[in-house]
Amino acid sequence: MTHRITRRTALGLAGAALAAPALRAQGPGAIRIVVPFAPGGSTDAVARLASVGLGQRLGQPVVVENRSGAAGAIGTEAVVRAAPDGQTWLLTFDSHAVLPALLPNLGFNLTRDLDPVMLIGGAPYVIACRPDRPFRDLAGLVAAAKAKPDAVSYGSTGNGTIGHLTMMLLQSRSGTRMPHLAYRGGGLAVNDTIAGHVDVMIGSAALLAPHVAGGSLRAIAQFGPARLPALAQVQTAAEAGFPGLEAEAWWGVFAPAGTPAPLVARMNAALRESLSEDRVRRQMEETQQARLVLSDPPALQAFVEQQIATWGAVVRENAIRPD
């Protein structure tokens, strides 16, 4: 199943925003963008990149509030329970789509209790290894794993993450078995891969590209719909013989269910303008290795439903549980 995103126009949303220039989020105080992860990660960075331009365009202070825990569920629930008045928004990451399968007792419904605002964009997951490892490409990794089942190990940034689930799909498609080491964060996984404690690791391009550029890691596969400019010599999974095997880290914005459509339209337009600024776009493309989408709400809704179906099936079929 492909995860390619079709970019849709947002002229209708921008028109709605322009038709109501006096519209402001209701209620006193700053607008909150809740990031359901700790400071320092890519989601936090994206939120802070957008917040300055948002404040200028919305005419109110915009603050980023980090509420981490339970794979993003704690911060997400805070937004679900917030008043739908345009004062509170959620900016979250790809693990959002795995929550229903990974946490069956989740106290909210992602599609019923949140309204979509924008799919900001995505960055492909990448498999990398130490330069002295024998794997030159995905075919070489698969061949080595077939030759010695359960001998070639891989690390990810956590159990049930999209990286972990991508490797589960790869093993299913290739008929291989590779032991998994789940790390509590990208830095730890990178360090152990560089040190040789794990044969390969999977992580977002934003995490791995600096180490590839610096020569401490070699990228052997990327899982986006096309090659990244920063990894132009590295095959996509489709080019390596696994069509449809795509996995991207992505960032999306949501509102509490019932947020008035004009407020959603206005936020969508403000996000598009803020993230399209040359300085911000360059940082997104270079620092986060992002492919910007800047979608309308229906496109985000369709994308999230697809992600929930795809990755939820992998979680259930492999009886995966959170760390």
CA 9-10-14 angle, to 5 degrees, is: 150
pLDDT tens-digit profile, the chain (323 residues): 333 333 333 333 333 333 333 334 444 589 999 999 988 888 999 999 999 999 999 999 999 999 998 889 999 999 999 999 999 999 999 999 999 999 988 999 999 999 999 999 999 999 999 999 999 999 999 999 999 999 999 999 989 999 999 999 999 999 999 999 999 888 899 999 999 999 999 999 989 999 999 999 999 999 999 999 999 999 999 999 999 999 999 999 999 999 999 999 999 999 999 999 999 999 999 989 999 999 999 999 999 999 999 999 999 999 998 76
| Distance, CA of 80 to CA of 257 (rounded, Å) | 7
Q: Which fold has domain 11-122+250-317?
A: D-Maltodextrin-Binding Protein; domain 2 (3.40.190)
Report yes or no: 90 and 253 within 8 Å, Cβ to Cβ.
Answer: yes
Global pTM reads 0.86
**Cα-Cα-Cα-Cα dihedral of 141, 142, 145, 149, to 10°?**
170
Which distant-in-sequence residues (6+ apart) come within 8 Å of 40 by Cβ? Answer: none
Report yes or no: 304 and 97 within 8 Å, Cβ to Cβ.
Answer: yes
Would the CA dihedral through 214, 219, 224, 230 be positive or negative?
Answer: positive
pLDDT in the model for residue 219: 97
pLDDT in the model for residue 29: 82
Listed by start position, the domains of the chain span: 11-122+250-317, 124-231
pLDDT in the model for residue 127: 98
- Residue whose tokens read 């360059």: 282
Q: Decide yes or no: CATH 3.40.640.10 for domain 124-231.
A: no
- Domain 11-122+250-317 identical in fold to domain 124-231: yes
Question: Which of 302, 114, 142, 166 minimizes the C-alpha distance to 220?
Answer: 142
pLDDT in the model for residue 28: 57
